[in-house]
A and B are shown apart, each in its own frame.
Chain A
Amino acid sequence: MVNENLVKDVVKEPYKYGFVTDIETEKIAKGLNEDIIRLISQKKEEPKYLLDFRLKAFKKWQKMEEPDWAGLGYKKIDYQDIIYYSAPKQKKKISSLEEVDPKLLETFDKLGIPLTEQKKLTNVAVDAVFDSVSIATTFREELAIHGVIFCSISEAVKNHSDLIEKYLGTVVPASDNYFAALNSAVFSDGSFVYIPKGVTCPMDLSSYFRINSGDSGQFERTLIIAEESSSVSYLEGCTAPMFDTNTLHAAVVELIALDDASIKYSTVQNWYAGDEEGVGGIFNFVTKRGKCLGKRSKISWSQVETGSAITWKYPSCLLLGEESVGEFYSVALTNNLQQADTGTKMIHIGPKTKSTIVSKGISAGNSINSYRGLVKMGTKAAGSRNYSQCDSMLIGDQASANTFPYIKSQQPNSEIEHEASTCRISEDQLFYLQSRGIEFEEAVSMMVSGFCRDVFNQLPMEFAAEADKLLALKLEGSVG
């Protein structure tokens, strides 16, 4: 069909973030063994408990098998062929942003994340992570006034060791899964957030992850703790250069919400996805989990996943506290030969807990886009409720969409609702919009945005606009 090809043209995306920053880096040798782990820990001047944490995780990882249940097709990863620590060379101690290598500042400028005092984004504090290390965190003094701690996890290890020791690995234990174990052994940097009791974080916090090096993996670790009656909105963005090799990204994110606390975690993931033939791109194997520990606590995940060759990611909620709330809002767009296997796990443990899942998958080209989710009602989860809605949109006739909802209930006095649908952008719909003077590309993008609206409504303001733009860009044809 004529239009079929047109639609395919429209979803071709020029990747704007594919440049490499030419900068001197300090890399350690390829490969993974105990010595490498000791070296990473030593470079970061870590306390002994953390080295032990890493080594224990490494031992577990060695006994584990790489999971294949998602049925993702990719060449076996050679874990000895990866560099586990890569950092841009810079002065040992940086006291202000002015001392950061201008090349790095320029890189983040180019990515739309200006860091310098004059240009930094208003109302959003940013932690910029470049390969294995955090480069800079803005608005730290302003946040400190409110008692909010926002820094790299390496710094937190040094300055807030008690919190790290108390919470690290309590939501995602090192033995949780293969990639979480790997991350626990070799994690290099990431963000740390602590919101004290009763504080509503005065601005959005944001981490921007940039992979620059082609042969090193990125293993960041994020930990967010929201004390009683506090709240925070956290945003995460990611990009990488275009390489024809695959880069492994195995992150772990842990969230902890105490009584009446609320954490909103939003991601726009735009790692390099590989080219049309599926060469190159990031392997995005991520474990994200939040623990609603306190009564009436709330954790809300929203994600817009457009990048990566392979995405394997299930931001989940453990609902322990009575009347705690878990939410998952997701848009995943795949094109060409991308594979996305994403969804969530809502584990209802405490009574009267509630969860909402809204997942929108859009598959174009030859891509595979799957929703995989688990809703579990434990024996004590009386009066708990879940609502799930999983919609798929197919563009073209080569793409595929799957939905794998797993439901386990051990509690008769609980409700689980699941709705699913699959649709296709039809020629008739396109013609209808075009016959009203609306350009073809705008028509496609209007329909895709419309399809995603329930999720976009959940994103923070700045992010919603960015997400819409990102999808429009993905949907932009070769013109212009």
Chain B
Amino acid sequence: MQSQMKESDPILQVENLFASTDNLPILKGVSLTVYPGEIHAIMGRNGCGKSTLSKIIAGHPSYNITNGDIKFSGENINSLEPEERAQSGIFLGFQYPIEIPGVSNLEFLRVSTNARRKFLNKEELDTFDFEELVKEKLELVKMDHAFLSRSVNQGFSGGEKKRNEILQMALLEPKIAILDETDSGLDIDALRIVASGIKKISNSQTGIILITHYQRLLDEIEPNYVHVMADGQIIKTGGSDLALELEKKGYEWTDNLVKES
């Protein structure tokens, strides 16, 4: 399905990617191409390699690429540092956002935003200009201004942490956003806020990869493609109806597909 002709160049190409951590192979030949404006969903059991794939794309130092390439805007980024990838427009929304005691959320967001702006040759924002920008973006995720003066993610509830991730995405305006189980641990209201935030940020120029276990996020944001991962590989790709089928049949169905292959 991905072989059809596209008008623009792909944002992200993952080509036959093999990766391991502590000599333990996790990814065993993953290929995935994302074009501007596309939304991809990746589903699969815990431990199938979904989160690993997202971390490797973002450049996590604990994983080694043993074979294959990751290309971003046509350039191989296998050896780029995580910060270089982020500055050039790759965003990873964390499944478990990390707490950084003592570092104020506002300062963190400003330094981060300016790192991206610097890369884009845009003027870096001082505290006042940044306040203006962040106020506007807070609206998107319905976050209170008080969040900004707290330490990064410290003492945030699960839902607040996830909204903080989407706030970062809104500020960084990435070319591709990989959202790793952003929906997990959210109640219905928080899920709607997060989903509508994602929809408002995404546009015809951005690509989005949603890693999820549940149909309910995909009810809010309809993907163009659904990929099912098992044992470090994408074993099935389809349209949004594939997620529904998966929901109906459960992961045992995919287990059988793995056995067959």
The answer on a CB contact under 8 Å between B102 and A438 is: no
> Which 3 pairs across A and B sit closest by C-beta, in order of nearness?
A450-B102, A437-B115, A450-B103
In the bound complex, CA of A2 to CA of B59 (Å):
13
Cβ contacts under 8 Å, A439 to chain B: 83, 115
Q: List 6 A-B contacts (CB under 8 A).
A: A428-B98, A429-B99, A435-B83, A437-B87, A449-B102, A452-B102
* Shortest Cβ distance from B104 into A: residue: A450
Closest to B82 in A: A434
**How distant is the Cα of A447 from the Cα of B111 in the complex, in angstroms?**
13
CA distance A429 to B82 in the complex (A): 13
- Chain B 166-183, CB-CB to A under 8 Å as 1, else 0, gives 001000100000000000
- The interface size of chain B toward A, counting residues with CB under 8 Å, comes to 31
Q: Which residue of A lies closest to B111 (CB)?
A: A438
Judged by a CB distance under 8 angstroms, whether B62 is at the interface is yes
* Cβ-defined contact, B116 with A437, below 8 A: yes
Interface contact A451-B101, CB-CB below 8 Å: yes
Separation of A136 and B87 alpha carbons in the complex (Å) = 50
Q: Is the CB of A463 closer than 8 A to any CB of chain B?
A: no
Q: Does B253 contact A (CB under 8 A)?
A: no
Contacts of A204 in B (CB 8 A): none
B97 within 8 A of A: yes
Q: Are A438 and B115 in contact (CB under 8 A)?
A: yes
Tell me if B108 is interfacial: C-beta within 8 Å of chain A: yes
Q: Is there a chain A Cβ closer than 8 Å to B92's Cβ?
A: yes
CB A439 to nearest CB in B, in angstroms, measures 5
> CB of A433 within 8 A of chain B?
yes
Given A447-B103, A450-B102, answer yes or no on A433-B58 (Cβ-Cβ < 8 Å).
no
A 421-439 to B, binary, CB cutoff 8 A, 1 in contact else 0: 0010011110111111111
Complex Cα distance, B99 from A431, in Å, reads 12
Q: How far is the CB of A436 from chain B (nearest CB, A)?
A: 4
Which residues of chain A in 437-454 are interfacial with respect to chain B, using CB atoms and an 8 Å cutoff? 437-440, 442, 446-447, 449-453
A433 to B61 alpha-carbon distance, docked (Å): 13
Q: Does B86 contact A (CB under 8 A)?
A: yes
Q: Are A429 and B151 in contact (CB under 8 A)?
A: no
Q: Which residues of A contact B151 (CB under 8 A)?
A: 450
Contact flag A431-B60 (CB < 8 Å), given A447-B102, A447-B103, A451-B101: yes
Contact between chains at B108 and A3 (CB < 8 Å): no
List which B36-80 residues lie within 8 A (CB) of chain A. Answer: 58-62
| Complex interface: chain A residues within 8 A of B98 (CB) | 426, 428-429, 431-432
Contact present for A453 and B102 (CB under 8 Å): yes
B112–A436 contact, CB under 8 A?
yes
Closest-CB distance, B130 to chain A (whole angstroms): 14
Interface set, chain A 246-304, CB cutoff 8 A to B: none
* Partner among B62, B81, B94, B168 whose Cβ is within 8 Å of the Cβ of A440: B81
Q: Among residues 116 to 144 in chain B, which have CB atoms less than 8 Å away from a CB atom of chain A?
A: 116, 119
The answer to whether the Cβ of B257 comes within 8 Å of any Cβ in the partner chain is no
Would you call B111 and A442 a contact (CB within 8 A)?
yes
| Pair A3/B103 contact, Cβ less than 8 Å | no
B100 at the interface (CB under 8 A from A): yes
Which residue in B81, B102, B107 is a CB contact (below 8 Å) of A451?
Answer: B102
Whether A435 contacts B86 by the Cβ 8 Å rule is: yes
Instruction: Report the nearest B residue to A451, measured CB to CB.
Output: B102
Nearest CB in chain A: distance from B95 CB, A:
12
**Given the contacts A3-B61, A427-B61, A446-B108, A434 and B101 also touching, CB distance less than 8 Å:** no
* Contacting pair B58 A446 (CB below 8 A): no
A435 touches B101 (CB 8 A): no
Q: Are B100 and A432 in contact (CB under 8 A)?
A: yes
Given contacts A446-B108, A450-B151, contact A438 B83 (CB under 8 A): yes
Q: Write out the residue numbers on chain B whose beta carbons fall within 8 Å of the beta carbon of A434.
A: 59, 81-83, 86
Q: How far is the CA of A428 from the CA of B151 in the complex (A)?
A: 16
CB closest chain-B residue, reference A450 = B102
Contact A437 B172 (CB under 8 A): yes
Cα A435 to Cα B116 in complex, Å, equals 11
Q: Which of A433, A434, A437 has the most CB of B within 10 A?
A: A437
Residues of A within 8 A of B108 (CB): 433, 436, 438, 446
Asked if B100 and A447 sit within 8 Å, CB to CB, the answer is yes
Could you tell me if B115 and A429 are in contact, using CB atoms closer than 8 angstroms?
no
List the B residue with the shortest CB-CB distance to A434: B82
Return chain B residues, CB-CB under 8 Å to A436.
83, 86, 108, 112, 115, 168, 172
* Of B86, B94, B101, the contact of A437 (CB 8 Å cutoff): B86
Check if A438 sits within 8 Å of B112, measured CB to CB: yes
Bound Cα distance A450, B102 (Å): 4
In angstroms, how far is the closest chain B Cβ from the Cβ of A44? 47
Shortest Cβ distance from A455 into chain B, in angstroms? 11
Contact B100 A435 (CB under 8 A): no
Residues of A within 8 A of B116 (CB): 437
Report if A2-B58 is in contact (Cβ < 8 Å); known contacts: A428-B98, A436-B172, A450-B100: no
Contacts of A453 in B (CB 8 A): 102
A 93-123 binary contact with B (CB < 8 Å = 1; else 0)? 0000000000000000000000000000000
Please give, as numbers and ranges, the residues of chain A lying within 8 Å of B97 by CB-CB distance: 432
Instruction: Give the most central of B87, B94, B103: most A CB within 10 Å.
Output: B103
Bound together, the chains give a CA A423 to CA B98 distance in angstroms of 14
**Distance between B96 CB and nearest chain A CB, rounded to angstroms:** 9
CA distance A174 to B132 in the complex (A): 60
Asked if A433 and B59 make an inter-chain contact with CB atoms under 8 angstroms apart, the answer reads no
Other A-B pairs, 19, CB within 8 Å; known A2-B61, A432-B100, A450-B101: A3-B61, A428-B98, A429-B99, A429-B100, A431-B60, A435-B86, A436-B168, A437-B83, A437-B87, A437-B112, A437-B115, A438-B111, A439-B83, A442-B111, A446-B107, A449-B102, A450-B104, A450-B151, A452-B102
User: Which chain B positions have C-beta within 8 A of A423?
Assistant: 101
- How many angstroms between the C-alpha atoms of A87 and B31 in the bound complex? 74
In whole angstroms, what is the CA distance A429 to B102 when docked? 12
* Set of chain B residues within 8 Å of A426, measured between Cβ atoms: 98
Residues of A within 8 A of B86 (CB): 434-437
Residue of B nearest to A423 (CB): B101
Beyond A427-B61, A439-B83, A440-B81, is A433–B100 a contact (Cβ under 8 Å)? Answer: yes
Q: Hey, which chain A residues are within 8 Å of B111, CB to CB?
A: 438, 442, 446
Which A residues are in CB contact (< 8 Å) with B112?
433, 436-438
Give the CA-CA distance A412 to B194 in the complex, in Å. 54
- List chain B residues, Cβ under 8 A from A446: 100, 103, 107-108, 111
- Beta-carbon nearest neighbor of A453 in chain B: B102
CB distance from A231 to the nearest CB of B (A): 30
Question: Can you name the residue of chain A whose Cβ is closest to the Cβ of B58?
Answer: A435
Residues of B within 8 A of A432 (CB): 94, 97-98, 100
A369→B92 CA distance, assembly (Å): 37
Task: Look across to chain B and name the residue whose beta carbon is closest to the beta carbon of A431.
Answer: B60
